[in-house]
Structure 1
Amino acid sequence: MDPIALLIIAIVLLVILVIGAALLFGGLRTSMMFTVRTQENVIVERFGKFKRVAKPGLNFKTPFIDSLTRPISLRIQQLEVNIESKTKDNVFVTVPVAVQYVIQESQVVDAYYRLSNPEAQIRSYVFDTVRSALSGLGLDEAFESKDDIARSVESTLSARMQEFGFNIVNTLVQDISPDQRVRDSMNSINAAQRDRVAAQSLAEADKIKRVTQAEAEAESKRLQGVGVAAQRKAIAEGIAEQYEMLRRVGIENSAEQLLLMTQYFDTMQDVARNGRSNVLFLPSNPGTVGSMGEEIRTAMLQAAASQEASQEADRQDQAGRASAAARRAAQQQG
């Protein structure tokens, strides 16, 4: 064969190989093969019509005929929705709601084709449910019913969105935030209530303290009276024993004066020992001491006479009442 013809054939084959390699590893490769990441699906369309769902890994498609949609995530996604609404008592509040949803692998086609803007439609359902719930609740009730509102939103979304391929995993009402002035007023009210409770507790504690002190003082006075009575009884019994002892030994006429003087000096000794004064004036001559004893004796005799007169008056009064009762009885019988 002519060398020139062989050279031309070799050049043509080389050009064909270069073009084939360029098509295979360039645009042709990208138009034939594609990869799908884990936890993602891709829809393959042929002339705009659904063909199949491409799973994770290496996939093939017909060049220039098939087209691919954007990757559809199968992971749990979260949508943040901030809702401003009014409660039953006309307080405007902001409620941030977090909606967690996922697309099941078997529902990828419905999730892609049935809703044009899934996030906007989820927001609409959340707005409608939260505003309906808040319109029947006061501000305090809304704070207490935060979990109930979240469950209501979750149940509503689950029923509505599942037919479109979206499964609601969880719905979280993160907070209920009224206006700053309303929050300040609520804090003032709570502070006033706590101050009132604290004042009542302090007053109750002071009452218990005062009652306990009064009971302790009353008990102390009672025990003190019992002690004084026992002391006086012991003194009286001691004096009686001493007087009887002196009478038995023959000191009968001056026994009373002797006992009085003994008590007098005992009293002076106690005053000198326990008194606060450093100086104590006492009579120095026996006559004065004797007259003092006479005065004490006279006072005791007068007290005894007064007691006897009082007893005699009581007896006469009782006799007069008995006589009057007898006269009335006689008159009634007559």
Structure 2
Amino acid sequence: RTIVFGAAAFCVKKSIKVVQQGDCSIVERFGKFHKELDPGLHFLIPFVDQIRATVTIREQVLDIPPQKCITSDNAPLAADAVVYWRIENGVRAIYAVENLKLAIQNLVLTQLRAEIGKLTLDDTFSAREKVNQVLLDELDVATEPWGVKITRVEVRDIIPNQEILRAMEMQMAAERTKRASIIKSEGERERSINEAEGSARSRIIDAEASAKSMILEADAEASKIETEAKGVARALDVIAAAISSSDTTTRDADAAKFQLMREYIATQRDLATSNNAKVIVTSSS
């Protein structure tokens, strides 16, 4: 009786299968696929039904180790990636490929080498998003027969070899030196322009001040001559009045001198009030 109860308990235990949330189990009957078990409680026929495998249907992460690649301009580098994927069909994931993770990894490495080989070294740094999208599209199509959905691919690191890194550092140093030289020369040019403009403005201001000073001096001199001429004219008027009261002979001689002096004074006044440049020559007597 103990043996019977033990055998019954063993059969009951073998017939009950609990599938955890996020997993699915593949059941084989007599070595042939029978059904796929979703999360929950299931009953199997002991010794007839067997659990072939239990796989997770949650999203998984696969790290791709660094892979040596050659760019289109023959630059060697190492690139690695990370792949996010999940199983959508457990049956195909078990029966369509022997080692699913290894198959995905090898496929990613192959596609990564191919895509890097289409780009130049400079493009590998600037076109990373494009490479990610191309890898995602191609891998999703390639893994679909395995019941796998590729959700995201990220190229993580792209590292050129040491010789290329040294050459890149030298190039960047040369570019920094060139930019510094350009900035310095532009600064010196701006300074020279500012100094020249300042000097030109200074000369213009000095010339304008000198011209105004000469005009003021000329106006003052003309005003002085005009004032003197008016004074002399008033004196001549007084003399003329005195001449008119003298005798005829003396009056005629004095009248002639008076007329000459009057014309001289008029000429001096005209010259003083003229805007043109003039040179006045006077008699010493």
Q: Tell whether the 8 Å contact from 2:53 to 2:94 is kept in structure 1 after alignment.
A: no
TM-score (norm 2): 0.75
Gaps of 5+ in 1: 1-15, 252-302, 307-334
Residues 242-286 of structure 1: per-residue CA shift (max 9 Å, x gap):
2332343349xxxxxxxxxxxxxxxxxxxxxxxxxxxxxxxxxxx
- Secondary structure in 2 matching 1:63: coil
Q: Kindly report which structure 2 residues correspond to 1:57-72, keeping only aligned pairs within 5 A, or say none.
A: 57-72=40-55
Retained in 2: the 8 A contact 1:42–1:53? yes
1:109 matched to 2:88: no
Deviation by residue 1:93-150 (Cα, 9 ceiling, x = unmatched) = 111121211111xx21111111001222222222222222222322112222222222
Which residue matches 2:133? 151
- Alignment coverage as a number of residue pairs: 237
Structure 1 residue 20, shift from structure 2 partner? 5.6
Q: State the shift of 1:24 in Å.
A: 5.2
Q: 1:89 aligns to what?
A: 73
* CA distance in 1 between partners of 2:7 and 2:216 (Å): 133
Distance 1:29 1:193 in 2: 78
CA contact (8 A) 2:60 2:84 kept: yes
Partner SS, residue 170 of structure 2 = helix
The letter of the residue matching 2:42 is N
More off after superposition, 200-209 vs 171-180: 200-209
Which residue of structure 2 lines up, in the alignment, with residue 30 of structure 1?
13
Aligned: 1:136 with 2:90: no
**Counterpart of 1:115 in 2: which secondary structure?**
coil
Question: Whose helix fraction is larger, Structure 1's or Structure 2's?
Answer: 1
Matched letter for residue 85 of structure 1: C
- Alpha-carbon RMSD across the aligned residues, in angstroms, is 2.5
Q: Any conservation in 2 of the 1:129–1:152 contact (CA below 8 Å)?
A: no
1:145-173 deviations in Å (ceiling 9; x for gaps): 22222222222212211122111111111
CA shift for structure 1 position 42: 0.6
Partner deviation per Cα, 1:58-95 (whole Å, 9 max, x = no partner): 11111222211332110111212132111223322111
Match of 2:268 in 1: none
CA contact (8 A) 1:157 1:168 kept: yes
Q: Give percent identity, aligned residues only.
A: 25
Aligned to 1:293: none
Q: Deviations over 1:311-334 (max 9, x none)?
A: xxxxxxxxxxxxxxxxxxxxxxxx
Deviation >4 Å, runs of 4+: 18-25, 303-306
Worse-superposed segment, 223-232 or 178-187: 178-187
Query: Does structure 1 conserve the Cα–Cα contact (< 8 Å) formed by 2:96 and 2:145?
Result: no
What's the CA shift for 1:230?
0.7
- Matched with 1:240 is 222
Q: Which residue of 2 aligns with 1:285?
A: none
Higher RCO (C-alpha under 8 Å, 6+ residues apart): 2
Shift of residue 28, structure 1, vs aligned partner: 3.4
1:215 counterpart SS class? helix
Whether the 8 Å CA contact 1:143–1:176 is kept in 2: the answer is: yes
Residue in 2 aligned with 1:199? 181
Q: Answer 1 or 2: which has greater strand percent.
A: 2
1:208 aligns with 2:182: no
The runs of 5 or more residues in structure 2 that have no matched partner are 234-277
- Structure 2 residue corresponding to 1:162, chosen from 132, 144, 158: 144
**In structure 2, which of residues 21, 44, 61 is the aligned counterpart of residue 78 of structure 1?**
61
Once residues 155 and 122 of structure 2 are traced to their aligned partners in structure 1, the CA distance between those partners, rounded to angstroms, is 15
Q: In the alignment, which of 22, 26, 31 is matched to residue 48 of structure 1?
A: 31
Residue 23 of structure 1 and its aligned partner are, at CA, apart by: 4.6
Matched to 2:69, the amino acid is S
Letter in 2 for 1:35: V
